[in-house]
Chain A
Amino acid sequence: MSGGALFFMLIAWAVIIGGVYVTMSNLIKYQQK
């Protein structure tokens, strides 16, 4: 896999997995309050 392709795929995956993690963990945190 070329460097460019790997770079874009990993960036996109990181943004999305990060977004899912931050939003879902915050929802759990606020729900427990």
Chain B
Amino acid sequence: MAEGRENWGTKLGLILAMAGNAVGLGNFWRFPYQAAKNGGGAFMLPYFAALLILGIPIMYVEWMQGRYGGKYGHGTVGCMIYLQSKERTSHTTAAILGSLAGMLVFSVVSLVNAYYTQIIGWTLGYTYLSLTGGYMDKAVSTGEVFVHYIQTPGLSITFWVLALLLLGLALTRGVQKGIEAWAKVMMPTLYVLGIILIIRALTLGTPVNPDWSPIKGLDYLWSPHWNELNWQSALAAAGQIFFTLSLGMGIIQNYASYLKPDEDIVLSATATVFLNEFAEVILGGSIAIPIAYTFLGTEGIKSGVGLSFIALPNVFRMMPAGQIFGAFWFLILFFAGFTSAIAMYNYLIALLEEDLNVPRSVGSWLVFALYIIIGLPVALEPVLTKTAELVFLTELDNWVGSYFLVVVGFIEVLVTGWLFGERKSLEELNRGSYWKISSAFFNIIIKWVTPLAIAILLIFSTKSYIKDGYFKWVPSFVEKMPNLIPWVQGARLLLFVILVIGFVEAYMTIQKKYGPNAQVKKAMKA
């Protein structure tokens, strides 16, 4: 059993930190875009179904795996999966399963955060630009402002490094004084700013065109389009649930590893899910789309990812007190991103602390250096190529930020459902929990329905990846841009190197702590 491991200070701090972990940038730009594209109001049917059969069960599994691993001093997924698999398989099989999961999670927390922190840097930079009127000049299009921003190292790299510095500083202070303290400030502020922006959005009237109003924006988002409800929209809903709840990233387990061994899991995990949904469906669905629709009509909200950095600044230019509301919007994005990035950052610190005995104060700056090194190509691509395609980021995101999450989720539920088994899983889930998980829920949902749903998601995602040309040596999205092909191949090489390091690190740690030599040492000590 682990001794001297840090715990969360308060229940409120834990819930806010976990909610902050789940609430991310995707809540604010990805949800409204996915909903509008995949059936509007009708999208909520597969969305809530996916929440019930994927989101909530996997959230329970991850909290349980984390608290279980924390009991043995582990905040990383490799050892957690190993310990659970070991219940019904040999040491070697469990070590391979643990190493595979550890490898994929290592790639997620290192590579995703390398570009995620840059987007957080953009939000910080745009908060600054909002306050200083940096995009208010109507003679320059907001698209040009954005391209100039990412192609100017003095802006893009400065704010990225600043965001990383803030993360590093927060994490040198540990779980309670770092993560928890920041979550207690940032999360309530995020909700308050979100509600202020909703009120502002819904009272905009019709300043540009009598047919464009915030209510019509909501109507556009929520009108059910039954003809658009198909397999693709169901898959989009399932993918969105994975993405929004930060599942399959190892970071929920990492936070749960700081729980006390008999602290509540089921109710706290459910509360986290609903707080995330509040930020996603209510705040995320009621700010960007109504504002963009009021000023730009349907064209403004079709821009997808560009909505935040290109369409909305256009609106803030026209809005009364637009600089203030622009700053509020980008600050919300910054807080949402920061409280998720801090979780990925902390995972790597925990890995250094627990697997390699590096103190937190040193580990925090080592991870800072790692993010600078592997994130630099993402920052330099637009600067050196004078493009704004961000193919390095896109290639990493296609694999590590999307596909791998589903694979990790699949391994997690299979290990819990079939190897850790009903008795131990229920004992672990229900110990100290205010709400209890029933045997029927475990045997029907966690053992069968959730793994089957993930398997279907994985099969269809693979088919869609093949169709979209992501498996090709030169992926389809970059075929017509030969000057950018080396950046995609570079991203793949980096991914390969990180996967190898991740596997070797997880395997060696498992062998060091639980391999035959560790058993001999333990016996000799005894």
Contact = CB atoms under 8 A, between A and B. Distances in A.
B267 A16 contact: no
B102 interface: no
Contacts of B216: 1
Among the interface residues A1, A2, A31, which one has the most CB atoms of the partner chain B within 10 A?
Answer: A1
B215 interface: yes
B44 interface: yes
Interface in A1-33: 1-2, 4-9, 11-13, 15-17, 19-20, 23-24, 26-27, 30-31
Interface in B412-461: 434-435
Interface residues of B, number: 30
Contacts of A31: 11
B434 A5 contact: no
Given A13-B281, A19-B277, A23-B274, A8 B267 contact: no
A16 B274 contact: yes
B267 A30 contact: yes
Interface of B is mostly: helix
Nearest to A1: B219
B282 A13 contact: yes
Contact of A5 (B222, B264, B274): B222
A8 B48 CA distance: 12
B85 interface: no
A15 B435 CA distance: 19
Contacts of B434: 26-27, 30
* Residue with the highest number of chain A CB atoms closer than 10 Å, among B40, B41, B275: B41
B267 A23 contact: yes
B27 interface: no
A27 B267 contact: yes
Given A19-B274, A27-B15, A30-B434, A5 B267 contact: no
Contacts, number: 74
B509 interface: no
Nearest to B272: A23
B213 to A, nearest CB: 10
**Secondary structure class of chain A's binding surface, majority of residues:** helix
Contacts of B275: 20
Given A16-B282, A23-B274, A4 B41 contact: yes
B117 interface: no
A27 B268 contact: yes
A26 to B, nearest CB: 6
Contacts of A2: 219, 223
Contacts of A6: 222
B115 to A, nearest CB: 30
Interface string B267-301: 11011011101100110010000000000000000
B282 A5 contact: no
A3 to B, nearest CB: 10
B42 interface: yes
A8 B222 contact: yes
Given A13-B282, A15-B48, A17-B282, A5 B41 contact: yes
Contacts of A23: 267, 270-271, 274
B218 interface: yes
A29 B271 CA distance: 13
B44 A5 contact: no
A9 B15 contact: no
Looking at A9, A19, A20, the one whose CB has the most chain B CB atoms below 10 A away is A9
Closest 5 pairs (CB-CB, A-B): A8-B41, A19-B274, A23-B271, A5-B222, A5-B223
